Amino acid sequence: MSADLRSLVLLAATLTTGLMAGLYFAFSCAVMPGLGRSSDRTFVESMQRINVAILNGWFSLAFGGALVLGGLAIALHRRGAASAALPWIIAGVALYALSLLITMGLNVPLNDRLANAGDPGKIHDLAAVRERFESTWVHWNVARTLACTASLGCLAWAMRVAARASGQA
């Protein structure tokens, strides 16, 4: 197996994980605090629109690509000097998988419930809809941000370990 291919796959896994960590972090420190200061109608309508808009090819590429590329990096680093990085890659992929479990098991069902509440202009009690969504969603977003950022750290460290093991650093 080519060391260049191994390095490129690990780099791509690290970059896509970084994109996801950055997205979650942006929600944690800018999007949700900003929306938190808005009216109930603005909050509900904005989150409904964000949850639709985010389902696009670029998001899908990073969201799924991080896991696929991480799995491929595990497979490519199983033998020889490259295996020195394997524990860090496995840890990074496991932490990223945890962020996916949080997203799919907790954040997405909340998003679906918010969407099912209907048109904000026709919701009788916007404050109640917001109340059932906001604090729980924010809590789990922080959890997935931490898991994904830890994943990024592990993968970045794996790049360093892999480079040292192959004599490149």
Q: Which residue has the tokens 């394997």?
A: 86
Under 8 Å between Cβ of 42 and 134: no
Average pLDDT estimate for 22-27: 98
For the cut 90, the answer to whether the pLDDT of residue 54 exceeds it is: yes
Q: Which of 143, 133, 134 is nearest to 113 (CA)?
A: 133
Total-model pTM: 0.95
- pLDDT bin (cut points 50, 70, 90) of residue 3 is confident
Q: Which of 91, 92, 69, 94 is nearest to 12 (CA)?
A: 69
- pLDDT bin (cut points 50, 70, 90) of residue 1 is low
Q: What is the pLDDT of residues 72-130, one digit of tens each?
A: 999 999 998 889 999 999 999 999 999 999 999 999 999 999 999 999 999 999 999 99
d(CA 126, CA 130): 6
Under 8 Å between Cβ of 169 and 160: yes
- Residue 22: per-residue pLDDT: 98
d(CA 4, CA 1): 9
- Residue 168: per-residue pLDDT: 63
Q: Is 33 helix (H, G, I), strand (E, B) or coil?
A: helix
